[in-house]
Amino acid sequence: MAKEDILREWREEWKRSPHQGRYAPSNRIPPSFKLRDHFEYLRREVYGRVTQCRVGHAFIGEYYAQFNIPEPVDCPCGAGYQTREHGIDALSSFIMESGAFTKTGELRGGPQELPRYEEEPDVDLSDDDPEDED
């Protein structure tokens, strides 16, 4: 089977499957053989936490409440109920101000623009994705 046929079948299956539940906000991007930009430029420490927030399995209040985990549900930054959206948005400021997730407290490689929840792309249900063309 050619690469184009496999990608077409993969996308058709993606369109048929329901996009619901905690992963739905992250499942808005059709399958592609190429990584999106943020997968390539985010540092490992940040990438892992962003992924946890996107899929809904992060150590945050929203997760604790859903699974009845006896942990505080408020955000340590002082905001109320800690949601995934807040986690992604607050993560950028927190890292820049604190130097968190580094051994020395210094940011590696200088400041980077981090993804924001409201910038997540809308679903594109078309079969043509210019990023998949070689």
Give the domain extent around 67: 36-102
In a domain, 67, yes or no: yes
In a domain, 131, yes or no: no
**How many domains does the chain divide into?**
1
Q: What is the pLDDT of residue 54?
A: 76
Instruction: Give the mean pLDDT of 66-75.
Output: 90
In a domain, 12, yes or no: no
* Average pLDDT value over all residues in the chain: 75
Q: What is the pLDDT of residue 35?
A: 76
For the record, the structure tokens of 37 come out as: 């930009």
User: In whole angstroms, how far apart are CA 105 and each of 85, 91, 98, 100, 102?
Assistant: 25, 15, 7, 6, 5
In a domain, 110, yes or no: no
9-64 residue pLDDT tens: 999 998 898 877 767 766 777 888 887 776 777 777 777 877 787 777 888 888 89
In a domain, 7, yes or no: no
Please state, in angstroms and rounded to a whole number, the distance separating the CA atoms of residues 50 and 106.
20
In a domain, 40, yes or no: yes
In a domain, 113, yes or no: no
93-117 residue pLDDT tens: 766 666 655 555 565 555 556 667 6
